[in-house]
Amino acid sequence: MILRKKLIAGNWKMNKTPADGVALAKELVAAAGKQADVEVVVCPPFTALDGVGKALEGSLLKLGAQNMHFEASGAFTGEISGGMLRDAGATDVIIGGPNYQLAYLDLPTDPKTKLPPAELKLHVNLEALLRL
């Protein structure tokens, strides 16, 4: 049996400006130190990805995104693709979740149909964090 490392993912939702996010990321890096028995992913708002990613450099903490569109590009106002997230430094992305589906009528309700995790890893090298 393969034991998987425990994962803690912090979804910042619609909180923190880019500057506030960088400050919090620096605090998290200092608090986590070199502790490696738990995988830690921070998922700031899209506007803070770049700065938070830079603040996490050299640490064991990973940068995640809060959502992504299943298309690689197109006329999808306000959306972001997996490739864009990867270029911004994200290694993980949260997919699905009841609050997002209710607020934006994001159907179908099964997040695995949005983009299969294996395909996500293959095409844009992001790990999927499925919210059920």
- The pLDDT of residue 98 is 57
pTM of the full structure: 0.80
Backbone angle region of 81, left / alpha / beta, with phi > 0 → left and psi within -120 to 50 → alpha = beta
Q: Is the pLDDT of residue 132 over 50?
A: no
Which residue in this structure is represented by tokens 């909180």? Answer: 15
Question: In the chain, count of helices (H) and strands (E)?
Answer: 5, 5
Residue type, 7: L
Percent of the chain having pLDDT more than 90? 49
- The pLDDT of residue 102 is 47
Q: Which of 1-10, 49-58, 74-83 has the highest mean pLDDT?
A: 49-58
Q: Which of 83, 63, 61 shows the shortest CA–CA distance to 72?
A: 83
The DSSP element (H or E) to which 12 belongs, if any, is: none
- The pLDDT of residue 60 is 95
Q: What is the tens place of the pLDDT at every residue in 78-127?
A: 989 888 999 999 999 888 665 555 444 454 445 555 555 555 655 566 67
Q: Give CA–CA dist 12/34, Å, rounded.
A: 23
Q: Is the pLDDT of residue 36 over 80?
A: yes
